[in-house]
Amino acid sequence: MTNLIPNFVPEKPSRIVVAMSGGVDSSVTAGWLKEQGHEVIGISLQLHDMAEKIENEFGTCCSLSDIMDARRVAEKLQIPFYVNNMEEEFRQAVVDDFIQEYLNGRTPNPCIRCNEKVKFRQLMDWALDLGADYLATGHYATVLPNQENHQMELFKGGDADKDQSYFLFAMKQEDLARTLFPIGNFEKKVVRDLAVKYGLLVANKPDSQEICFVQAKSYKEFIEEEVPKELLKPGNIVDPEGRVLGEHTGLHQFTIGQRKGLGVFGKEPLFVLALRGKTNEVVVGPEQNLFRKSATVSTLNWINEPLTQTRKVCAKIRYRAKESPVEVVPRADGKLDVRFEIPQRAITPGQAMVFYEGEKVLGGGWIEDLSIQ
């Protein structure tokens, strides 16, 4: 589905700070804004000092080599460029959270945490310090003012295959009011063609695919390198009735829906159904048990008005999942019960659930632990 609503960009010349990751999207954002006559300042956050282990095989962002790419783009565009080292803040807000979530039997989404806790918060503060009117990023999403309620609204990006609105549900009104997504309605081919037009060497640079701080290794290997062995607690692998089928050496090795590497076998293929952090158990069973019609979502953020009454909308349970019709039921404790019209496979605690009404992003929250049915 293509969003035909034009993205908001100021008509009069403005000072705009562009968050430059070294990729083609943010680079074209800077080039396009300068072409429109705005005063553009490029900034990058150094979040870690890991260099790519195998060139062009492991997609990353915010590494030292990416910052060098961003610097070269800024030189080509003849715009000021600054770098701020945020490794410590990134470690505390994103990497440590990533590790702890896996140890607790949950599957985290570090990209959303990074947007929420580090990138938008720190970049916006820095942009304001530089006297900027706006902060711009290369996200595929749309932000528009609603003249009736004087609020900003968040919509999907124009390229359905690249839409990144899912990752932005935690944004606040005060940030949306000063944030621009200039290429949010462009198709990827258009972006790459513009990069060629501007003479940028990143025109054909592959998109980031992997989590930036986990390179050339599995999540399991990364966590085992990062934490003391005594925190990797063994436990039982059980069936839904609690019968012990085997043992494991740590919850961090598993995620909901996983089939391979379980270490136990049954008459039919077994899949991970749940991870019980309190008892350190991995629950396995047949694939049909992965499909659920309900979930609970907490730590909610609403872009505009909160949902206070039962309502039918659509929801995504992970970035690449298809939207599904749901009924959302607000609870007195601030959480949300979500009932799916179509059973969903592998609803995963720790992942974000984001709610949509057509092209508009209503908000979202974090999926809580599931009971075994």
What is the spatial distance between Cα 201 and Cα 195, in angstroms, rounded to a whole number? 8
Name the nearest CA neighbour of 113 among 350, 322, 305: 350
- 10: tokens are 């100021």
List Cβ neighbours of 229 (8 Å cut-off, separation of 6 or more): none
What is the spatial distance between Cα 59 and Cα 68, in angstroms, rounded to a whole number? 15
Say how many C-beta atoms besides its own lie within 10 A of residue 92's C-beta.
12
- 310: tokens are 């039962």
Q: How far is CA 27 from CA 19, 75, 308, in A?
A: 9, 11, 41
Active site includes 212?
yes
Active site includes 314?
no
CA dihedral 21, 218, 316, 293 (to 10 degrees): -170
The beta-strand segments (E) located in 139-204 are: 141-146, 151-156, 179-180
Structure letter (DSSP) for residue 119: I
Q: Which of 61, 62, 212, 314 is catalytic?
A: 212
Q: Which of 61, 111, 114, 314 is catalytic?
A: 114
| Category of 96 on φ-ψ map: left (φ > 0), alpha (ψ -120 to 50) or beta | alpha
The three-point CA angle 343-349-351 to 5° equals 90
Q: Which residues are the active-site residues?
A: 114, 212
